[in-house]
Amino acid sequence: MAVTSLIDALYTDTPCVDVLRLDRQHALAPGNKWFKLKANLSEARRLDAHCLVSFGGAHSNHLHALAAVAREAAFPCYLFVRADAGQQTPCLLDAARWGATIIPLSRSDYRRRHDPEFVASLVHELPKPYVIPEGAANVLGVQGCADIAELLPDRAAAYDLVMLACGTGSTLAGLACAVADGVAVRGVPVVKKAEQFMPADIQRLLTKIGHFRNNWSLDYRFIGKGFGQLTPGLIEFIKTFEQRSGVPLDPVYTAKLFYAVETLKLSGELNAYSRILAVHTGGLQGRRGYPEVFGCT
């Protein structure tokens, strides 16, 4: 898809704001998730893995995209989901229809998803599994997200600032290491207590790939009630923003990103920049988890 079809003008006055519409790419795995998965998929093939394994919630964009990619690549796929036995969501129904095996985990077990011994106990009977961490938040995921900058002429050199929502920070890490010199990258975290882990996680990933520019930052002011939690004010913003701009938002990530962009623009905090790019990271399948907001099931 031509880059011109991926960029919308959101605000044309100074500072002007453009939107990189990653939600328009890659069909069933749109947004940043395809970028985070592609290098992991290549590594699974290199290692001659026989199946893909990962973790996520019952509405997870990551698991939804992984199930789609695995089907396309003819990889068996096992999804360990923080969910009650028998719980069905549109995301999980899609994944099961595409051939993924859904394995529910209790909340207490799910908290152990980063424990190597626990993960090994889950996958020891699976045929040559390749385990992708939750959100594909690993070095390969970062390297894949670096390719987002390649969609833009001169690696986004025309922009002073790139803004995006952050769940793990790995997409931000990929962009930070790939944008042109002089471009700042600002993340808008969407999870509570992000300040306690996200900066260190991003720095760890960047160090592993040899990136030492101090060109990124995090703005914690728009987390709100926490991951996936909507306030009446944010719901009203989503409806007004979509009517005005025609850009659909997901309630978990991009709603908070564009609320941050609009708030900071109106307050004048973005006046130090002349041209800004906001990255729409997709996640629109997650709208189905909020029928009271979006009128869909």
Is the pLDDT confidence value at 2 over 80?
no
Across 159-169, average pLDDT: 98
Task: Give buried/exposed letters for 236-255 (b at 16+ CB in 10 A, else e).
Answer: ebbeebeeebebebbbbbbb
Lowest model confidence (mean pLDDT) among 26-30, 75-79, 212-216 = 26-30
Q: How far is Cα 8 from Cα 210, in angstroms, rounded to an integer?
A: 33
Measured distance CA(201)–CA(48) in Å, rounded: 29
Asked if residue 18 and residue 89 are part of one domain, the reply reads no
Q: What is the pLDDT of residue 142?
A: 98
Cβ neighbours around 263 below 10 Å, total: 14
Q: Are residues 178 and 281 in the same domain?
A: yes
Mean pLDDT of 98-103: 98
268 and 144 housed in the same domain: yes
pLDDT band (50, 70, 90) for residue 27 = confident
Q: In the structure, what pLDDT confidence band is assigned to residue 28 with cuts at 50, 70 and 90?
A: confident
Q: Taking 80 as the threshold, does the pLDDT of residue 230 lie above it?
A: yes
Last residue of a domain, one of 105, 120, 136: 136
Q: Decide if pLDDT at 102 tops 80.
A: yes
Based on the domain organization, do 200 and 256 belong to the same domain?
A: yes
Q: Would you place residue 75 in the very low, low, confident or very high pLDDT band (cuts 50, 70, 90)? A: very high
pLDDT digits (tens, 9 = 90+) for 172-213: 999 999 999 999 999 999 999 999 999 999 999 999 999 989
Q: Quote the pLDDT of residue 85.
A: 87
pLDDT at 104 over 80: yes
Instruction: Tell me the pLDDT of the chain averaged across its residues.
Output: 96
Query: Which residue from 108, 169, 94 is spatially nearest to 136, judged by alpha carbons?
Result: 169
88 and 152 in a single domain? The answer is: no
**Number of domain units in the chain:** 2
Residue 152: band (very low, low, confident or very high) from pLDDT cuts 50, 70, 90: very high
Environment class of 4 (CB within 10 Å of its CB; exposed 0-12, middle 13-18, buried 19+):
exposed
Q: Looking at the structure, do residues 147 and 265 belong to the same domain, yes or no? A: yes
Confidence of residue 295 (pLDDT cuts 50, 70, 90): confident
pLDDT value of residue 181: 97
Query: Do 125 and 13 reside in the same domain of the chain?
Result: no
Report whether pLDDT(32) > 70.
Answer: yes
Please give the average per-residue pLDDT across 22-38, as a whole number: 94
Measured distance CA(39)–CA(174) in Å, rounded: 12
Asked if the model's pLDDT at residue 219 lies above 90, the reply is yes
Give the CATH number, domain containing residue 44: 3.40.50.1100
pLDDT in tens, 256-266: 999 999 999 99
**Mean pLDDT across the stretch 4-24?**
94
Alpha helix (H) ranges present in the chain? 32-46, 61-73, 90-97, 107-110, 116-123, 139-146, 170-176, 198-208, 232-245, 254-267, 291-294
Q: Indicate if 182 and 61 belong to the same structural domain.
A: no
Evaluate if residue 3 carries a pLDDT over 80. Answer: no
Range of the domain at 113: 32-136
- pLDDT recorded at residue 4: 59
pTM > 0.85: yes or no: yes
**pLDDT cut 90: percent of the chain above it:** 95
Tracing tokens 């019952």 back to the chain, one arrives at: 58
Q: Are residues 48 and 130 in the same domain?
A: yes
pLDDT digits (tens, 9 = 90+) for 270-287: 999 999 999 999 999 999
